Amino acid sequence: MNTAASQASRIHPLPVTAPIEARIEQAIRSAQTYLLGRQDPNGYWFAELIGDSTLESDVVMLMHFLGRVDENKQRRLLKFVLSQQNPDGGWSIYHGSPSDPNATLKAYFALRLAGYTDEDPRLQRARRRILELGGIEACNSYSKFYLALFGQYDWTKLPAMIPEIALLPPLRWGFNLYRISSWTRAIIVPMLIIYALRPRVEIPFSVRDLAVPFEPRSPKGLRKKLWHAIFRFADRLLGFYNRLDIKQVRDRAIRAAQAWMIERMMKPGGLAAIYPPMVNTIIALKALGYPPDSPEMRKALRDLEELQIADDGIMRVQPCFSALWDTAWAVNILARSGLARSDAVQRGADWLLSKQIFTGGDWQVNCPGVEPAAWAFEFDNPVYPDTDDTCTVLMALHFAGRQHEPGFAKAVRWLEAMQNPDGGWGAFDRNIDWKALENIPWADHNALLDPSTVDFTGRIIETFGYLGRTEADPVVSRAVQFLRRSQEPDGSWFGRWGVNYIYGTWQVLVGLRAVGVDMKADWVRRAADWLRSVQNADGGWGESCRSYDDPLFKGRGPSTPSQTAWGLMGLIAAGGTLDDAPVRRAVEHLLLTQRIVGGWDETEHTGTGFPRVFYLIYTLYRDYFPLLALQFVRETLRKSPNRPAGA
């Protein structure tokens, strides 16, 4: 890795007076060399995935719940937490955001558990900020749930999460575990157990005085108000049922939830291979009486510990691993940029093929009768493959010349089967879009469902376009119609999994171009016009996560390498060339901001976990997306602008 980086440092950028075509070639070679230097000897790419300080705060709380506090680890975790405190005393959920009540409460509570007192000026500021933000009642139900474990919130005030939910049959109508998103399913099943058993750890202080009166935001619109009232009434009924304590049914429900959880958490990667279910699994195992040395507890703790990164006296926690995702993009982009036959790309393709999942998963409940043949996001997550990783791997294999591998056609058929009735694709399941369920009181993490999204749909039809399909194909045609219906009035598209409208608009435009849609059509040109309208004065693009909360921030923010790359690729997909001023300015921005070693710098959160709740920094986005964008530009110099960009 260091050798490659030193090689990249010798590829010095040409002066700005040099022809721009030569400067682009030089920048591509430098970026390629830098990215090649990041490859693991086993063939994959893997970089840190960064969330926010709630992860580190949660680990501290978990250690105290278990009664097994590693003082050195706690000190390093809290050193990082304190480094993230805002001047106003609170903590943010993305770079530059206003202080968030959940992040601030969790940080404050973790510090108090570790022995910090309110005499500390940092905690004084934190406490004051929590109260200014609305106190405990301004936080979501998950934060209150964790407080209840320490006797700091009443279980009876929490939304009813009875374990009997685990007994409901997996029908395609009515409510059951398979009518909600896979990540929510994995998060709440352990919580159902915890809610029923209600474990409690005594602590020598109280934060109950932070529960000040707070008026939650009321739903807007008659339909939303009606559903909100219905589910609030249902919650009260479930609370009444819970107090009946029908032991025979309750015991059977706990056993069902326990069996569901154990079956999945013992798979490689842990339960759903993401942080929140991992933490909840450990708490549930403790509540169920599993000893520390049991195989289940040891594996659960090991899965969580693997996400922790020690770095220069501090410790950070990743929400999950992004290895397969990073590898798929790296192989894809390096292959497109002229290295398809290189050993590095072929070893990456081999590793991707070794990770294809041919076993069943939760997705089969809503998509039965389809042969498993997909990919997941992480190193290992066999129960939860997803459509986005699958199509991105297929793109990578296609450009690497590996489309004739036995599992390739099977994966294409799997993607086709996962298409929703509305023509789009969700992430992990088919047809998880019963919007009324968003009014469930414990659904305040803003991600209960897994509906069709334009970013996934755009990327999937892009993949199909590279495989020779056009708008005449019924699967593609339904997808294009979904994208047309989903377009915003100003021409942009919402980005569910990347920030935000720049991300969604880029991916849709590239997808439309790949399947032969008329890029001069008015509805397509409006999207390109929108991208041009939000380009920054420095030639780049940037968008704050705040755009999920406030439309005034739509397409607005400091320029970042990843978002500049997305905006640039969107314009090129819409027919832009280097002769167009917005395209040239964007290219100049990327060339001027490239580091001497070949990569770029980026500190903003440009990935989305749960809009308005949890955001991500993919630390390779800053490097491989600008390389892909420059390759798009190079292609416009080499062939007719009527050819699909990237084809």
- Taking CA atoms, 560 is separated from 242, 536, 538, 543, in Å, by 50, 10, 11, 8
Residue the block writes with tokens 């009515």 = 174
Catalytic site residue from 303, 386, 388, 422? 388
Please, which residues have CB within 8 angstroms of residue 334's CB and are 6 or more apart in sequence? 32, 35, 36, 340, 342, 344, 345, 348
Residue the block writes with tokens 């803003």 = 446
- Taking CA atoms, 412 is separated from 358, 460, 467, 597, in Å, by 13, 10, 10, 38
- Taking CA atoms, 48 is separated from 86, 320, 326, 332, in Å, by 23, 9, 10, 20
Torsion of CA 151, 153, 159, 165, to 10 degrees: -10
273: left (phi over 0), alpha (psi -120 to 50) or beta: left
Active site residue 118: no
Q: In the 3-class helix/strand/coil scheme, how is 484-520 assigned residue by residue?
A: HHHCCCCCCCCCCCECCHHHHHHHHHHHHHHCCCCCC
Q: Which runs of consecutive H residues, i.e. helices, occur in 218-341?
A: 222-244, 247-265, 275-288, 295-305, 323-334
- Taking CA atoms, 59 is separated from 46, 191, 267, 432, 471, in Å, by 23, 17, 22, 31, 49
Question: Do residues 542 and 558 lie in contact, with contact meaning Cβ atoms separated by under 8 Å?
Answer: yes
Please, which residues have CB within 8 angstroms of residue 2's CB and are 6 or more apart in sequence? 37
Q: What does the DSSP assignment read for 582-619?
A: HHHHHHHHHHHH--TTS-----S--EEEETTTEEEEET
Quote the tokens at residue 103.
Answer: 């992040």
CA distance 240 to 192: 16
Please, which residues have CB within 8 angstroms of residue 75's CB and are 6 or more apart in sequence? none
Quote the tokens at residue 98.
Answer: 């206003």
Query: Which residues are the active-site residues?
Result: 388
